[in-house]
Structure formats: structure tokens, C-alpha cells
Structure 1
């Protein structure tokens, strides 16, 4: 499947899923976000200014990493969620997420586009273990993102929501005059 077909399939499926999610949220008295988060807005800006191969790479890498993260979070809800209706929604949604991920990976492979963060453990290839006095928590890398230092989103430091571990390091091009890198590499890990 070419990525224009993937884009249409994703749009159609996500509109359907969003409608079901909004209905469920209304039943639960919860208001879902009404706009893209900072990371999604950043990807949108990158896509607006990209063309040709850069657009293809940016779009497909965003689809792959976004669907990997969605898969991890959806599985976490299925396995440890506290609301049966939300778990049922997640079970219904997971096959769609996995289908989109598979199609995005196939499109990227066909165009020779490597996965974003291929050498950094993106997709859960690097297990992490946090050991405290009373318990051990295992984490999986859910996503790896690269941000310009000036564009590091505030949500990286947000402690609300589901448990996660955020690892930040330097990356990108090293500037010899300022003695610093121009990007931050951020790995998002969730309990496995």
C-alpha cells in the first residue's frame, strides 16, 4: 500500500475511532483533547515545510513512531486499565493501530526509509528496569523523538497521566563554536 492510500485509510479509520472515543468519553463525563498536542503540532509544522523525499520520510516516520506508541499505550490499557468500557474500546481499536503500523512500515520499506531511531531502541527493543527498595518496574521504549533544543516541548516534563519514564540526551549536529548539540533526543518508556 502506498502512503497516499495509507493516509486516506488512517484518516477514515481515525475519524471512526475518534467518534467512538468521544461517545465513550461523554458517557464517562470526560472531555478528550480538542487539538493536537505539542509534539503533533511540531510534526505538522515539519510536514508543512517539507516536500519530496523529506516529506515522505517525515510523514512515514511519524506514522510508524506514532502507531508504535499508540500500540504500546493501547496494550497497557487493555492489560491494566481500570474501566471495562475503556478496555473494550482499546481491544476494538488495537487491530486498527496494528494494521496502520504494518502499512506504514511496508510503505517506508518500499521507499527505503529507515525507522526513526532505528539504532536507539525505538519500539521497545531496549528493556529498562528500575529497582527501588520495595519493587522493580520494567519499562519498554515506546518512542524515540528528536527535537531542536529550542523546540523541546514542555510535555516532556509533564508528570500527569499514565506512568512513564522520559530519557533526554543530546544529539544532532555538534556546534564547535558553542560546544553544544542542536537537538535533544528523547526516549519515552512505559511500564511493560
Structure 2
């Protein structure tokens, strides 16, 4: 009769160094799988940097979605969207734009996450988490915090979690501010945002390519 061993039993039979290496590999694989459950584009052999970039992408995308959702109506924009017109209008220097940016940044709250894998997936997929534009900045922030917690674990706790998240949050806020400035300085990006807003507010179905 062939005896079948569980993974735990097999690990227990291995020499100490090999066992520790196998356990570390298993833990890393589990962490990456948890991250991929929320952000499937993360590669299976991901390092911490992949998760950090995925967290930043989540919030950059959420900022773009929020601009299409509310920004195009709240910010004073010129009628013409050519490069010269946008440069003369200097929308990025307008008070209405600054107020909008600060509102978006106020939703960015990167903090130690209490979410488990299933909780994070449920949050991402919940009806109140997104609309035709995409995820809300608040939900994107919660999911980014979850991914960054996993990234920190992949780093093996080399940095204190609070300091690590503080540094990541600062980078994310810079990214969000930069992507919003591009929305009002790059003609094509502004046109895409305006067109999305018009389509969605008119009840047209938003296609996945427009949301990407």
C-alpha cells in the first residue's frame, strides 16, 4: 500500500535548511495568490515591487475615473481642447481644479489593512464599490492598502510596516496628483474623460476598453 503524505508531513521530513526554504517558498506563493485574487494582472512569480506597482495603478486608475465621473463637471475647462488652448487656460492652476484634486487626495488613505483575501475580493466586487466609471477612490485605497500589506510581507518585514506604508502613500499621492494634472494638460486624455462622462451620463454602456 502506497502511503500518501500531506504537504505538512512532507516538509517535516526534509532537512532543516531545505524545509525552511520550502516553507518560505510556500508562504511567498500564498501571498502572491492572495494578491492575484484582487489584481489578476500581477504575475505568478511576483516580487514585492509588482504588488506596489499594482497598488499604485489601482489609485491612478481610480483618479482618472473620478475625473471622468465628477471632475469634468466641477473643473473650469475651456471649450476647445487643443494643446494651445489648454496651455493658455492653465487649468492645472485654477482654483476649481485644485479643490477637485484635494478632494480626490483626501480619499487616499493608505493604512494597515485588516482585510482577508475573501474580504478584499468581496469589497472589489460589491455593488457599492464601483459604478459605470470604475472603482471609487475610497475602495481603490482600501484595496491598495491590502496589496501593500502583502508586499510588505513579501519583503520579510525588513521595514517597519507604518514607515513602509507612509512612504508608499506619499508616492501614491504624487502619482494621483500627476495623473490628474495630465487629464487637463493632454488634449487626448481630456477628450477621453469628457467623452466617457457624456456617454455614461447619457445612459450609454461603458465598454471595457474605455475604462482601461
Same fold (TM over 0.5): no
Rg (Cα) greater in structure? 2
TM-score, structure 2 as length reference = 0.30
Q: Which structure's residues are more often helix, by fraction?
A: 2
Q: TM-score, normalised by structure 1?
A: 0.32
- Considering fraction of residues, name the structure with more strand: 1
